[in-house]
Chains A and B, each alone.
Chain A
Amino acid sequence: MRIRFKLDGQDVEVDVKHTDTLLKVLKDRIGVGSVHFGCGEGSCGACMVLINGRLRYSCLTLAGYVDGKEVTTVAALARDGELTEIQRAFLENDAAQCGYCTPGMILTAKVLLEKNPSPSDEELFDALAGNLCRCTGYIPIINAIKSVSRR
């Protein structure tokens, strides 16, 4: 079937199978670099996107579901080369090493802080429970998010 959706503000039209996941279509059909395959089963968060502003695992979302919707990845956050506060905080706090988890981490942080501008530690850990990072040991990531929430 043919689906149409907005990807990072651009109109996209693509033929998909009923069984195709959004992750598969984004990576293997469209060639999106700001979304990553980590597990394919909703465990790691490397594949996270926003669908109409809500945080979703693209590996657990069928591509057909985004027909007519807006899909946003971390690539669309910066405007005219100007990083958002969260992106700057990740840079300043060295909150990434290999960077494979970073897009998912940043989207999770964004959604959390929009809902709850000054989360407690517990709320922060809870929000990050669906995102795995194997490199940083999480502390710099948490520091980055806290540095934004305090402002």
Chain B
Amino acid sequence: MSDQFSVVGAPIKNVQLLGHVTGSTQYVDEISFPGMLWVKAVRSPVARGKIKKIDTSKAEKLPGVVRIITAKDVPNNIHVNMAVIGIGPPDEPVLPEDEVKYKGEAICLVVAKDEDTAAKGAQLVEVEIEELPPVLDMEEALKPSAPVITKWGINAFIYGSGMDGATMPGRPGRPFFLVKRGDVEAAFKKADYVVEGSYLIPPIEHAPIEPHVCVAKPEPGQRLTIYTTTQAPYFVRDNVASILKIPPSNIRVVAPAVGGGFGGKVDPEFEMQVAVAAMCVGRPVKWRWTREEEFTISTTRPAIKIEIQDALSSSGLILGRRARLLHDSGAYTRTSPYGVIKSTVNLSGPYHIPNVYYEGYCVYTNRQPSSAMRGYGVFEVSYAVELQMERDARKLGIDSWEFRFKNAYRNGQVTATGRLIDDAYLIEVMKVAAALSGVSLPHHLLQMSSWG
């Protein structure tokens, strides 16, 4: 390959390395402007509650505090990250008006001359909150008796009806994403064995060594430059434009080197708040999250629960699969509906299962919002599917390599979502994986191919 190409097949140096080893790579934290102010948030001490009163009088008297920003300072106080790709409705306030939905949610912002003063000011703001019973468990959240924490009356995202960016407008809305193929009931009637499994994946924090940092600088003529630790500058631009009610072309987003993101810097989580603060005070403002905020406020990989039932034939084939997947979106939508679509369509794994019925729920709870992290939606499902494959093989009393080879998807078959497969290589990859891990496969498996 290397004779033909100069890039493909050749190792490439990370162009930033020289900057890294000499300490000259520029991250957002190095950006500062004359007259720049600092932001800190007053955060909710409870997972769910009604905001009764915000008393800022003591904080305002603290020398160095310039301004306190609350919900009424936000021109359009509602957004959803993925409006850009047709996912809605918007459900998240920049700053909550009357209800907090997760512990640590920012209630108001204190803008001050330096970071310490902003932090002191935030401590002086008195918030009166009437605590409400929180919903913290996904199964509980779906019960009819659960307190409803969304605006649309059920603690799950409504798929269909043109709001999920994937199904056609006019399709009926359902509180789950549905993948259906063949006749799953008939498959279970025919089955020699039924194997059930339930799998739980906890939330995971990305924990980049660089916490979230953002500087927003107002420019003449309702314009704004935002320097931020982001993996997705266009999400930042469009969300900030929508909440400030100004055209996206008025906003320039600068994304310097990112000190680790792993998906945790995909969501515009705090840029909207920094932008509102900057517009209100008319000066550059900076917000650098603490390590504690990084852990307790920034998004995590979602917690996911997956239940699988497989209908198996004694000849070792998967005749049908039923699955129910719960994905903890936390208090707001963020990118979760998209994550659920990804995971639900992946519930067959790389295997051919002719009859399937999968329900994927994007569930709302009073927890910090979850979002993207390194292949989210796919990893979690692969974990569950592969453990289920081991369980199935054990029940059948056959070797799990044999079981995987038998059920591996092949070219010419059709996936659960109706795509004709013409690029299957699973069998070939498994042969290599077996060889690399010192497993000698029996002859009849080595004879198999993705084309037969």
| Interchain CB contact (< 8 A) of A91 among B17, B23, B32, B288 | B17
Contact count band on A? 35 or more
User: A103: which B residues are within 8 A, CB to CB?
Assistant: 23
Q: Are B27 and A36 in contact (CB under 8 A)?
A: yes
Indicate the member of B258, B290, B291 with the most A CB atoms within 10 Å. Answer: B291
A80 shortest CB reach to chain B, Å = 12
The distance from the CB of A73 to the nearest CB of chain B, in whole angstroms, is 6
Q: Does any Cβ of B come within 8 Å of A57's Cβ?
A: no
Q: Chain B 344-361 against A: per-residue CB contact (8 Å), 1 yes, 0 no?
A: 000000000000000000
Q: Are A46 and B209 in contact (CB under 8 A)?
A: yes
B13 touches A98 (CB 8 A): no
- Check A96 against B20 for contact (C-beta < 8 Å): yes
Residues of B within 8 A of A33 (CB): 23-27, 30
Known contacts A34-B23, A36-B29, A37-B29; is-contact A132 B18 (Cβ 8 Å): no
Contact of B257 among A40, A73, A98 (CB under 8 A): A98
A44 to B114, CA, bound (A): 24
Q: How far is the CB of B227 from chain A (nearest CB, A)?
A: 14
Q: Which chain B residues in 50-95 approach chain A with CB under 8 Å?
A: none
In the complex, are the beta carbons of A87 and B209 less than 8 A apart? no
Instruction: Using C-beta atoms within 8 Å of the partner chain, give the interface range for chain B.
Output: 35 or more
Q: Is B402 an interface residue (CB 8 A)?
A: no
- A33-B26, A34-B23, A44-B209 given as contacts; is B17 within 8 A of A100 (CB)? no
Partner of B209, one of A31, A41, A73, A133: A133
Given A33-B24, A75-B24, A135-B260, check contact A99 B211 (CB 8 Å): no
Would you give the shortest CB distance from B297 to chain A, in whole angstroms? 15
Task: Please provide the chain B residues from 1 to 39 with a CB less than 8 Å away from any CB of chain A in the complex.
Answer: 13-14, 16-27, 29-30, 32
Counting CB contacts under 8 A, is A115 at the interface?
no
Does A94 make an interface contact (CB < 8 A)? yes
A61-94 Cβ-contact flags toward B at 8 Å (1 or 0): 0000000000001110110000100010011001
**B211 lies within 8 A of A37 (CB):** yes
Please give the residue numbers on chain A whose beta carbons come within 8 Å of chain B beta carbons, in ascending order: 19, 24, 27-28, 31, 33-41, 43-44, 46, 73-75, 77-78, 83, 87, 90-91, 94, 96-103, 106, 132-135
| 5 residue pairs from A and B, CB less than 8 Å apart | A46-B210, A75-B23, A100-B27, A102-B23, A133-B209
